[in-house]
Amino acid sequence: MKTDIHPNRGTARGTLFALYAVLIAYALITLMPFIWMLVTSFKEARDVFKLPPSFVPTKLFTDEPFGNYTEIWTQRDFVIFFRNSAFVSFMAAIGQVFATSLAGYAFARLDLPGKNWLFALVLVTAFVPVEVTIIPEFLIMRGLGWIDTFLPLIVPSFLVGAFGTFMLREYFGSLPKDYGDAAYVDGATPFQIFWKVYLPLAQPALVSIFVIAFINNWDELLRPLLFLNSDELKTVPLGLMSFVSQYEASWTLLMAGSVISTLPLIVIYMLTQRYVLQGFVGGGVKG
Amino acid sequence: MATLQLDQITKSFGQTEVLHDISLTVEDGEFIVFVGPSGCGKSTLLRIIAGLDDQTSGALHIGGEEVTGREPIERGVAMVFQSYALYPHLTVFENIAFPLRLQKLPKADVNSRVEAAAQTLDLMDRLQHKPSQLSGGQRQRVAIGRAIVRDPKLFLFDEPLSNLDASLRGAMRVELSELHQKLRTTMVYVTHDQVEAMTMANRIVVLNGGVLEQFGTPMELYHKPRTRFVAGFIGQPGMNFFRATLSEVTDTGVTAIASDQSNLTAHVDGAGRSVGAAVELGIRPDDLQLSTTGDGLQVAVRVIERLGASTIMYGNLHDGTAICAALDGLARLSPGDTVHLTVDPDTVHVFDAGGLALPRRTAPDL
């Protein structure tokens, strides 16, 4: 007589099926706004609020299937917004990598009196809402004469970053201390130990910081709204705002602009996904 | 090449003193091993010599120069770490070249010195590999290469073989000894493995609880241990100890009654010792022989280990005291047997209540 050596196989398959069903449902709910955004960007303006709602991209079946995209790219200043956002986000992300790698390394590896207190102070800044600090920040930037320039959006990133400092402190702290000791015995200065030994090993965490900072700055609305006045300095979020006015909204253009503004983030994340995951997992260095 | 001199080195962490008044002199070209159990302070002492930690008090001289407070690079030391500390993002070539690049040596000079080190260590075909692509022994050799390429005055090794498996450890011991014979540079080597210490060292520093117990050649430590700790730490299998009471003190030695009531004579200097004093007798397993006459210590055999050339016997005296003997490889023994073991009085060690050895009268000429 043949006996079933896996009596629980049927139950396990049922559990797996239920799990996949829940995950697929969750994925659909999560993706729905993006799908709606994409579909709307390919609709005629009159079809946006049609009832019952339709997922049919009506503009795709006209003479100008990419008309919404063509319009925002050619007739609006979206290229300029895009370029401005790319510049500001890139510089601010570089600033975050610069500031937080130095601070994270110092907190993790250097013997500084009171460094734990200082680190606690840096961490506290992460819990202060931006609405609390934005007015003093505005006054400082105005005092420096930096209003209507990119400097208020870039320079602070070179000075502080609580999340990145915390993340890199943990990352540097997880790397073997022997690396630094070995380099020190071989004649390296503290900065050379940072630059030649530990910084290259922190590449995954640095990429994570860069990506997170880039995305945050790309999506930033409040600061550009306060600090930038000229049309030629506007960033993508400000540009998207221009599609919505007090009396009317160009929803199809807004959605097309939103799709375009999301694409760089998706591309960056896909290119750096491996590093980002490693960065969050920690400093598992094989050597 | 350089001498190393430690003068009354102490090290404290807060209120806890972990090294107590360590003084010793290492001669030029010697291979010195610091050995002791975990937490005895041997790695701390090595880090102080390297300049990675500062001593709390005392002075340190390398090559006759006081180096206290100097940077490691100014001391002329190179160090090999237990973890190898190879930089994972650099190739073998770049790892070995790392200290030379810090010195900003010309490229041709860097290349020739790295290649010379790689040839010495048989790493020529691995120069473009990353450390993760190497075996444990190869990584160890890269770490040594990074040290020798600097041509230092003093090599420091911090338990460099402890991450290797037993067979590789044996092979690397031989390689390190050959390297020392070739370079003739002063080397200080830390290990907790007394076999490594005995096989590689010109002289051994035995540390226990931050105290220097004894500093001498492997044979001195084996045959003339100054303390019970050294006697027990050095030698494999470890020395047998029996609590005993002195029953006779003569010009030639002492006789003691062991805990199993057997009388054992030891040819040691018992001057100043009185009958009735509590002592501890120490007998190395190698010094015990099977009695053919039924004399000597009566032992109930518990476990037999056949090693081929020798047979290790574990048993108990009739009062339960454990005893180990290293006997002839062909000794006919089985667990459960009762045997008698004899010992030459010349080889019996005696330790007083403070753990200090009574000087042996007839130790071999070392």
Give the DSSP letter string of B4-70. EEEEEEEEEETTEEEEEEEEEEE-TT-EEEEE-STTSSHHHHHHHHHTSS--SEEEEEETTEE-TT-
Class of the B237-351 domain?
mainly beta
Q: How far is CA B195 from CA A201, A274, B191, in A?
A: 37, 46, 9
The pLDDT of residue B1: 61
CB contact (8 A) between residue B73 and residue A186: yes
At residue B96, the 3 state secondary structure works out as helix
Centre a 10 Å sphere on the Cβ of residue A128 and count the other Cβ atoms it contains. 10
Split at pLDDT 50, 70, 90, the class of A2 is: low
Q: Which residues are CB-neighbours of B272 under 8 A, at least 6 positions away?
A: none
Phi, psi angle pair for B87, to nearest 5°? -75, 115
Instruction: Work out the minimum CA distance from B240 to partner chain A, whole angstroms.
Output: 39
Q: Which of A178, A186, A196 has the CB atom closest to B83's CB atom?
A: A178
Interface test with B, best of A175, A185, A192 (most B CBs within 10 A): A185
Is pLDDT of A285 > 70?
no
CB < 8 Å to B79, chain A: 181-182, 185
CA distance A123 to A168: 13
The pLDDT of residue A4: 61
CB contact (8 A) between residue B150 and residue A186: yes
**Domain regions of chain A by residue span:** 9-70, 76-281
- In the structure encoding, which two tokens stand for residue B287, read together? 């010094």
CB contact (8 A) between residue B85 and residue A181: yes
At residue A259, the 3 state secondary structure works out as helix
Q: How far is CA B97 from CA B103, B114, B116, in A?
A: 10, 6, 11
Phi, psi angle pair for B279, to nearest 5°? -135, 175
CB contact (8 A) between residue A201 and residue B52: no
Q: What is the pLDDT of residues A245-272, one digit of tens each?
A: 767 778 888 899 899 889 888 898 888 8
Instruction: Work out the minimum CA distance from B298 to partner chain A, whole angstroms.
Output: 53
Round the CA-based radius of gyration of chain B to a whole number and report it.
Answer: 24
**Domain regions of chain B by residue span:** 4-232, 237-351
Q: Please report, rounded to a whole number, the percentage of residues in chain A having pLDDT higher than 90.
A: 60
Low-confidence ranges of chain B (pLDDT < 70): 1, 363, 366
Split at pLDDT 50, 70, 90, the class of A7 is: low
Split at pLDDT 50, 70, 90, the class of A287 is: very low
CB contact (8 A) between residue A185 and residue B89: no
Which residues of chain A approach chain B closer than 8 Å at the C-beta? 176, 178-179, 181-188, 192, 196-197, 200-201, 203, 285-287
Closest of B149, B92, B91, B140 to residue B117, by C-alpha:
B149
CB contact (8 A) between residue B103 and residue A187: yes
Is pLDDT of A63 > 90?
no
Mean pLDDT computed over every residue of chain A? 89
- Indicate the burial class of B247 (C-beta count within 10 angstroms; 0-12, 13-18, 19 or more): middle
Residue A149 CA from chain centroid, whole number: 22
Whether the ipTM is more than 0.85: the answer is: yes
Class of the B4-232 domain?
alpha beta
CB < 8 Å to B130, chain A: 287
Is pLDDT of A73 > 90?
no
Cis status of the peptide bond prior to A52, with omega within 30 of 0 = yes
Q: Which residue of B has its CA nearest to A187?
A: B73
Check: CB of residue B311 under 8 Å from CB of residue B295: no
The pLDDT of residue B206: 97
Q: Which residues are CB-neighbours of B291 under 8 A, at least 6 positions away?
A: B339, B340, B341, B342
Going by the DSSP 8-state scheme, the letter that residue A196 receives in this structure is I
Closest of A237, A247, A226, A249 to residue A156, by C-alpha:
A226
Which residues of chain B approach chain A closer than 8 Å at the C-beta? 50-52, 71-73, 77-79, 81-89, 98-99, 102-103, 130-132, 146, 150
Name residue B311's amino acid: T
Q: What is the pLDDT of residues B82-112, one digit of tens each?
A: 999 999 999 999 999 999 999 999 999 999 9
Give the architecture-level CATH label for domain A76-281. Orthogonal Bundle (1.10)
CB contact (8 A) between residue B83 and residue A184: no
